Amino acid sequence: MQELDQVVEEVIRLGRYSEGSRRPMKVRMRSQVTVEEIMARKGELADDTEHNDIWIKRDMNLEEKEKEKVLRYEAKEKNKKRTEIEKKNFY
């Protein structure tokens, strides 16, 4: 991968500062190709015990956030209706 200073355009800390707490960061990249590469490889962080507290999500506009909120609600409702056997056999 290229040097970080060549691909990162801007880094912004979100939220208010609070002693001893962590805040999310918004990272703007210079290239969409770089973004797609990072998003494709973000699953590897789940296996990395040293960086297991890092989460990567793509930025969404209000319409996309609303759509995701509706889908999460529908998924929760469907999960509540599943039987114990279905929950046990779910992969």
Give pLDDT tens digits for 13-29: 998 999 988 899 999 99
CA 21 to chain centre: 19
Residue 18 sits in the same domain as residue 30: yes
pLDDT of residue 57: 87
Residue 54 sits in the same domain as residue 64: no
| Number of continuous H segments (helices) and E segments (strands) in the chain | 5, 2
For residue 5, the 8-state DSSP code is H
The count of domains in the chain is 2
The answer to whether the pTM exceeds 0.85 is no
Residue 21 sits in the same domain as residue 50: yes
Cα Rg of the chain, angstroms: 18
Give pLDDT tens digits for 48-81: 888 878 888 888 899 999 999 999 999 899 888 8
Residue 6 sits in the same domain as residue 18: yes
Residue 7 sits in the same domain as residue 50: yes
| Domain membership of residue 88 as a residue range | 60-91
pLDDT of residue 91: 61
